[in-house]
Structure 1
Amino acid sequence: MKCSLVLLIVSVIIASTFGDPHDLPEYAEKRYHLEPFFKTNWFKAMQYCHSKGMRLITIASKEEQRNIENFARESDLGDESFWTSGTSLGDQVFYWFDSGKKITFTNWINGEPNDFDSDRKCIEILNETDFKWNDCSCFDNNKRVICEENV
C-alpha cells in the first residue's frame, strides 16, 4: 500500500513538473513530447514513443522542420542531438519507419548521409549544427527522444 502511494505521489509530481504529453503545445498538425530523463538508442526511442501512444518524429516539410527546431529551442536542449524515425534499415534509401514512406524533404549536414562505417542507418538531428541531419549508428546510446502525435 505504501509503495503504491509513493508511486502515485511521484507520478503526480512528474506529471505536474513535465506535463502530460497530451497537454503539450501544438505545432500545426502535431504535438510533441520530449523525454527529459534519459538518452537512448534508436530502437529504445521507438519503443518509448510507442508506449506513450506516440511515434518518433518524422519531418516531411520545411514547416515541420521549423516546428521541431522551435520545440527543441523551447525545450532548452543545449547542444544535444535527438532521434528521428528516419532509417535505412533493410533498405538502400532512407524512409520514415512508422509510415514506410521514402524521405523526400531533407535537411542534411553538407556531405551527409555518408554511411562512413556502413553502420549509419538512422537519422539524428544535431542541435549544435543548427538542427541539420546526420546519419549515425542506430545503437548510439546518447540521443534524446522527441515523440509526436497528430492532433
Structure 2
Amino acid sequence: MRILTLPLVLCSLMLLSNNVCYIFPTEINGLKTACRNGWNLINGRCFKYVPSRMTWAKAERNCISMGGNLASVHSSEDYYDIQSLIRRVTHELKETWIGGSDAAEEGNWSWTDGTLMTFTNWCPGEPNNGGWRQHCMQMNYSGEKCWDDQRCAVKQPSVCVSKN
C-alpha cells in the first residue's frame, strides 16, 4: 500500500493544478491504453473532435498546437469509430476535415502525421480535383458518408489524432 501512496498524492496535486495524471501505463506494446482529458481512445490512438469551423490549414495548425495532427484513418474500423465519435458529439455526421492532402503533388495523397495511406474510403468518382482546386480531404461526404477531396479554404469541423 505504501508504494501507491506517493503516486496517488502526486497525482492528486497534478489534478488540482489541471494537469493530467496517469497511475496506470498509458501505452502497452505501442498502443495507447488511455488518453488525455478531452481525447478519445480509438484502436490504440487518441482522437479529438473539434467543432470549430476552420480551413483545413488552420485545422491542422490547431491539431499541432494540441500535440497532434489532423486524423489519419488506417482501416474501416478506424473510420466507423471516428464517425461514432462525431455522432456522439454532434448527433449527426457532418462533413469533417481529416489529415489527407495531395497539395504537394496532385493525385499523390498522404497523411499529415507521416503515416502511410494504406486504406482509403473515397466516394464513387472521388477524388476528382473539381475545378483543379481540391487538395484537402474531408470525411462524411454525401449520403454515403465517404471521403471527398475539397477546397482547402472551406471552413468546417475537424478531427485530430494525438502524437502523445
**TM-score strictly above 0.5:** yes
Indicate whether 1:98 and 2:113 are aligned: yes
Aligned-pair RMSD on alpha carbons? 2.1
Structure 1 position 30 matched with structure 2 position 45: yes
- Deviation of the 1:131 alpha carbon: 2.9
**Does the Cα contact within 8 Å between 2:123 and 2:148 map onto a contact in 1?**
yes
Aligned CA distance change for structure 1 residues 113 and 77 (closer, same or farther; 3 Å):
farther
* Structure 1 residues 31-46: aligned runs within 5 Å: 31-36=46-51, 38-46=52-60
> Structure 2: where are the runs of 5+ without partners?
1-17, 19-34
Determine if contact 2:136/2:152 at 8 Å carries over to the other structure. Answer: yes
Q: What are the within-5 Å matches in structure 2 for residues 72-151 of structure 1?
A: 72-76=86-90, 78-92=92-106, 93-99=108-114, 101=116, 103-126=117-140, 129-141=143-155, 143-149=156-162
Q: TM-score, normalised by structure 1?
A: 0.76
Sequence identity percentage: 23
| Alpha-carbon distance in structure 2 between the residues aligned to 1:131 and 1:32 | 19
- Cα deviation code 1:79-133 (max 9, x no counterpart): 52110110001213111122063x2311111111111211000100126534310
Q: Tell me the distance in 2 between the aligned counterparts of 1:100 and 1:91.
A: 17
Gapped runs of 5+ residues in structure 1? 1-11, 13-20
Q: CA deviation at 1:57?
A: 0.5
